Structure 1
Amino acid sequence: MNMPGMDMSGGKPGADARDPDAYSDGYKNSTLPGYEMADRISVAKVLVDELEFLTNKQGQGISWSGQITNGPDNDKLLLRSQGLKQSGERLDPESSVEAFWWHGQRPFWGTILGVRQDIGPGAHRWIAAGIEGLAPYWFDVQLTGYVGDDGRLAARLKASYDVLLTNRLILVPQLESNAYSKAAPERGLGGGLSNLELGLRMRYEIHRKIAPYVGFVWERSFGETADFRRLAGENPTERRFVAGLRIWW
C-alpha cells in the first residue's frame, strides 16, 4: 500500500513529503544557539575514586586516588593523582601527580600523553604515554608507560570491574602493578616487577555522587623492592583493611 509522501523504494522523497526541519525554524543542529553538537561541549568532572582510612598490623594511615577531567568527548585535559601514607613509614614510592592530554581513538578507548611528578623523597619527573578505556565485559583498564629524568623506564597497569549486586550496592575488585627498568634506591624501588596490589571494595551509593565503602587490600613487593622494604624494617607483604568515600561532581 502506497501512502502520500512515502517512497518505500529508498529513492528521493516525494514532493509532498514532510519537511524534517519544519519544527526548527530553519536552524541546523550545529548552529542552534545554546545547542552545540553534544560531543563538542566541554564538560568538567572531579572524581575522588578512593579517599580512605586504612589499618593493618603496622599501624594506620590514609590513601587516595582521583582525577579531574575537562574538555569535550574527543580531547580532554586529564589530571590524576594517587598515594598512600602509613604511620611509621615513609610515603609510598608510587605516590604521584600526573597531567595528560587525553584523545579519544575509539568509542571506548583513548590515548594519553603527558608528564608525571613523583611525590616524596627522591622524587623524579617522567614523560608518560599510554591508553585507557573499557575492555570487553566492561573492565576499566589503564596502561601507562614512563621515561624518567634519570633514564629509567617504567610501566603501570591498573584494572577494575564494577559488580552490581543491586542498583546501589557495588563490589569492585581492583588490580595494580608497577615495573621499572632499573633500581632507584632513593625511592626504595628495585628493577623489574616492583609490586602487585589486589583490592576488593564494597560501596553503597547513597546518592550516585556519594558512596561510602569498606574493603580489603593485599599488596606484595618483589625482587629488589622487597629487599629495600626489609632493610627499612617494613614487611614486603601487606594486608590492609580500608574504609572510605567515593565522590564525584
Structure 2
Amino acid sequence: MIRAALLLSGIAPLVFAIPVAAQSMDHSAHDAASTPTANPTPEASGCTPDHAAMGHCTLAAPSPEAPDAKTVPDTQATDHGAPPADPDCPPEHASMGHCTPKRAPAHDRMNMPETPGASSARGTDLAAGDAPAPPPPGEWYADRIFPREEMEHSRHAMMVENGAQQIGFVSLNLAEYQARKGRDGFRWDGEAWYGGDINRLTLKSEGETVFGEGLERGEVQALYSRAIGPYFNAQAGVRQDFGHGPDRSYATIGFEGLAPYWFEVEGALFLSNKGDLLARIEGGYDQRITQKLVVQPMAEANFAVRDVPESGIGSGLSDFELGLRLRYEVVKEFAPYVGVEWTRKVGDSARFARAAGEGASGVGFVVGVKAWF
C-alpha cells in the first residue's frame, strides 16, 4: 500500500502539468508545412483571430496567386489606403477594446488613394465641390388643399414681412441746452430714414443757436443710403447750409455704421458749389454702467482743403470737439442726459474767429434729451 501511494503521488504532478504546458505552448511554433497549402482557414492553421489579437500567433495572409501564404511579401499584405497606425494604440490593443486609434489628419486622409467602395473623408473633411444647388421647389404642398392664387398672396406677404418690409425711423441724438460763457444756446442733431434693409432715403440735420443772436449755423442733408455690409451704409446726396455766413450747397458722399468694439462712426466729404472741399468725421461709444445708466464719449473733427474766409473755415484741421454725456434711459426710446463739451478751433479757423471777436475755444455744460421712435 505504501508503495502504491508513493507511485500515485509521483504521477499526479505529471498529469496536471501536461494540460498547462499545452496551453502555454506558442502556437506559432507549428510547422506551416504540416497545414494544407491551399488557402488554409484560421481554424485549420491553429491560429484563430482571437489568439492573433493577443499576440500568441500570426495569421497567414492567403493570396489567390500564391499557394503558400509565407511566400507573400509583407508589402502586399499592407493596406496602403488605410490611415497610418496610431503608435499609442496598436491594432492588437484596439481589437481587445483597450484603446481607440486616433484618426489621421484631414490632409493625410485626403491624400490617400481611395479604397474601392469606401470613402475616407466624412462631413466637413470632404473637399469642396462645385455642384449646382438643388432647384427650388416648384410645387407647394399647400396648393393641393387651398387655391393657388390665395397661397401666392400669402407667400408674398410672408416674404415682405421677413426682409422686404419698409420701415420708418426718427432719431433725435442731441437736443440740449448749452451753458457757455456769455453765449448760452441750443443745439440739435438728428436724422430720419425710410426704406428697407438695403436701400433707404435718409435726412440729417444739425445746428445750434445763440440766445439773443438767433441761428448761428445749421445744415440739412438729403441722402440715398445703401447697405454695403452687415454694419455699414454708404451714402450720397446733397447738403444745404443756412445761418450766419453765405448759404452754400454741397454734393455729399459718406458712410456710417458700427465699427468693431461697438464704436458708432460716421464720415463724409462735401464739395460746395464754389469748389470748396470739406470733410468731417465723428464717432461715439456707449459705455453702460448699469442697464439704464450710460456714459457716452463723443468726438468730431472737421477739415478743409483750402481757406474759406467767408465761412470762417481754415485749411487743414479746422476745428474739433470732445464731449462726455451721462444719460439715464427711462425707457429705450427716451433718455435725459447731462454732460460737458469742449470745442477748439485751430489754424486759420482760430485766426478768423479772433478777428470776428470770438474765442478760439470754449467749454460748455449741457442738459438735454435723446429720443427715437
Q: TM-score range by the shorter chain?
A: 0.7 to 0.9
**Quick one: which amino acid aligns to residue 40 of structure 1?**
A
Give the structure 2 partner of residue 180 of structure 1. 304
1:104 matched to 2:221? The reply is: no
Correspondent of 1:59 among 175, 178, 183: 183
Using the TM superposition, give the Cα deviation of residue 79 of structure 1 relative to its aligned residue in structure 2, in angstroms.
0.3
CA contact (8 A) 1:201 1:216 kept: yes
> 2:276, 2:237 → 1: CA distance?
16
User: Which secondary structure does the structure 1 equivalent of 2:291 belong to?
Assistant: coil
Using the TM superposition, give the Cα deviation of residue 37 of structure 1 relative to its aligned residue in structure 2, in angstroms.
4.5
CA contact (8 A) 1:212 1:246 kept: yes
CA deviation vs aligned residue, 1:145-204 (integer Å, no higher than 9, x gap) = 111101011101010001111111111100111111122222111222110100101111
Matches within 5 A, 1:1-249: 31-33=155-157, 36-87=160-211, 91-93=215-217, 95-120=218-243, 121-249=245-373
**Quick one: which amino acid aligns to residue 245 of structure 1?**
V
Using the TM superposition, give the Cα deviation of residue 87 of structure 1 relative to its aligned residue in structure 2, in angstroms.
3.5
Runs of 5+ in structure 1 lacking a partner? 1-8, 11-20
> Between Structure 1 and Structure 2, how many residues are aligned?
231
> 2:326, 2:206 → 1: CA distance?
20
**Quick one: which amino acid aligns to residue 64 of structure 1?**
W
Runs of 5+ in structure 2 lacking a partner? 1-122, 125-139
Using the TM superposition, give the Cα deviation of residue 111 of structure 1 relative to its aligned residue in structure 2, in angstroms.
0.2
> 1:242, 1:196 → 2: CA distance?
17
**Quick one: which amino acid aligns to residue 39 of structure 1?**
G
User: Which secondary structure does the structure 2 equivalent of 1:64 belong to?
Assistant: strand
CA contact (8 A) 1:123 1:187 kept: no
**Quick one: which amino acid aligns to residue 232 of structure 1?**
A
Call closer, same or farther: CA 1:228–1:28 in 2, change over 3 Å. Answer: same
**Quick one: which amino acid aligns to residue 162 of structure 2?**
A
Larger RCO (CA under 8 A, 6+ residues apart): 1
User: Which secondary structure does the structure 2 equivalent of 1:39 belong to?
Assistant: helix
Q: Which has the higher helix share?
A: 2
> 1:135, 1:108 → 2: CA distance?
7
**Quick one: which amino acid aligns to residue 194 of structure 2?**
N
> 2:203, 2:357 → 1: CA distance?
34
> 1:52, 1:232 → 2: CA distance?
26
> 2:304, 2:232 → 1: CA distance?
25
Q: Which has the higher strand share?
A: 1
